[in-house]
Structure 1
Amino acid sequence: MSPLSGSLAEGVHTLRLSDVALRYHVHGTGPVCVAHPGGPGIEWEYLHAPELERHLTMVYVEPAGTGGSTRLAAHPHGYTRELYSSHLAALIAHLPVDRVHLLGHSHGGFVAQYHATHRPEQTAGLVLYESAPVTGPEHGEEVARQVGQFAARHADRPELPAVMAAFASIPAIGDDEAMVAAARGILPAYVADYWADQPRWNRLRQALRATYISGRGAHGGPDLFDDREALATFRLPVLVVVGRHDVVCGVRWAEELHKLIPGARLLILEHSGHFGHLEEPDLFAREVVSFVTAGN
């Protein structure tokens, strides 16, 4: 199939669902890979990967509540993994393919592994890119440890106090402006060596856009999870990708995913943080394309 028209035509599309209008972007040619960005609430543009598009038809989702996709009536609450997965299910059903590969980055990885658990018939394979098998206190403690190590490595940087203040502001985020400020403020910790090419990463920092999404269900409960039991039952191809210097979903979690999921492959990007598709784009693209095309 050549994705030249209809729901896989190059460009911007809007799929109207019962609760939202869901916008998505199509670029490239080849097997279909649907990409779900992180956050929740970070807009999709940072995940744009032209190196993948030379070999894959990339479908970049704007999750509900972000960008051109509409917000829920309960906004900023109600954006659970089940909600995101239901939107993915409708999008995949809308495309002229039976199954797709899912690439989920960060929180998008949480969504992708949920989708593969509950809707395996739509999932040809998974790229769990900076994901984790669990959230809650265990995950939070590891983030705190990694951020502490980042601070120790860069103790001589005059910019460090501002980065740490941005991390400290996260629990108090309550609107879009604060969300954008925090996302931009913590970015230096998300790159393996931000200050080695500061002009480049400053451009990414200024381009980041975000919506405040609480991470809670419509009735206020946190959308926490422990997927370990479910992941051990997976019988589909999985590629786990992680940057050696990622502070939020780092090597500890990637190695656990790799051990939990039968037959999973593990790619550690030695010179990357949270954005391996930007920090080591050629290696990232080569391995992801090889993984996706192996099943087509």
Structure 2
Amino acid sequence: MPFDTSPVTGAEFWGEAMAGLAAYPQRYPDQPEAAAIPAAFQQAVTATGDETLTAGLRAAVPVYFADFWGRRDEFAPLQAAVRFWAEPAGAQDPTPFDVRDRLDEIVVPTVVIVGAHDFICGVRWAEQLHEGIKDSRLVVLEQSGHFGHVEEPAEFNRVVAELLDR
């Protein structure tokens, strides 16, 4: 069950994600805090220490939701609980990958789930997964970003249960 992921990374993937990140403040012009989200995300992805990484990602949490600001009280505990640890230099492999030509090797029942407002692993990438995995089902959670299991838990659980019943 692929959930908010991509079969490929690299320049095009990251370019699209960064365009979605840059556009985020315009989606919420009445939320002054939204303007700081792109810089917070950049702080996180360039962080070399645990505290800087955690602070950046904690501040960037809203971009991962379809409507963080409308449900802020609900999501605040999750945001406050965000903790990350930086990998030692060189520990992460930044090499792009592309497994689209191997998706046909997946022969088990598969549902591809994606949030309609996921800025980083959006519908485009889910469609590529769906097209490459024979007989898969694509489910777009219309009121979700990257965390569909949090934003639309009933629909997410229903889709997963249907998959398990197959």
TM-score (norm 1): 0.53
CA distance in 2, matches of 1:252, 1:214: 32
Aligned-pair CA distance for 1:290:
1.2
Q: Which residue of 1 aligns with 2:70?
A: 196
1:161 aligns with 2:35: yes
Any stretches of 5+ residues in structure 1 without a counterpart? 1-126
CA distance in 1, matches of 2:88, 2:7: 20
Output one character per residue of 1:14-57: Cα deviation in whole Å (capped at 9) or x when no partner: xxxxxxxxxxxxxxxxxxxxxxxxxxxxxxxxxxxxxxxxxxxx
2:80 to 185, 206, 212: 206
CA distance in 2, matches of 1:287, 1:183: 29
CA distance in 1, matches of 2:109, 2:33: 42
1:191 and 1:245 in contact (8 A); partners too: yes
CA distance in 1, matches of 2:147, 2:93: 30
Any stretches of 5+ residues in structure 2 without a counterpart? none
Q: Which residue of 1 aligns with 2:117?
A: 245
2:2 is paired with a residue whose SS is strand
Alignment-mate amino acid for residue 35 of structure 2 = P
1:260 aligns with 2:132: yes
User: Whose strand fraction is larger, Structure 1's or Structure 2's?
Assistant: 1
Alignment-mate amino acid for residue 164 of structure 1 = P
Q: Which residue of 1 aligns with 2:155?
A: 283
Alignment-mate amino acid for residue 137 of structure 2 = R
Q: Number of paired residues?
A: 166
Aligned-pair CA distance for 1:282:
0.5
State the structure with more CA Rg: 1
1:134 aligns with 2:8: yes
1:187 aligns with 2:43: no
Aligned-pair CA distance for 1:172:
2.1
2:44 and 2:54 in contact (8 A); partners too: no
Q: Which residue of 2 aligns with 1:29?
A: none
**Bigger shift: 257-266 or 145-154?**
145-154
1:129 is paired with a residue whose SS is coil
User: Whose helix fraction is larger, Structure 1's or Structure 2's?
Assistant: 2
Aligned residues: CA RMSD: 1.8
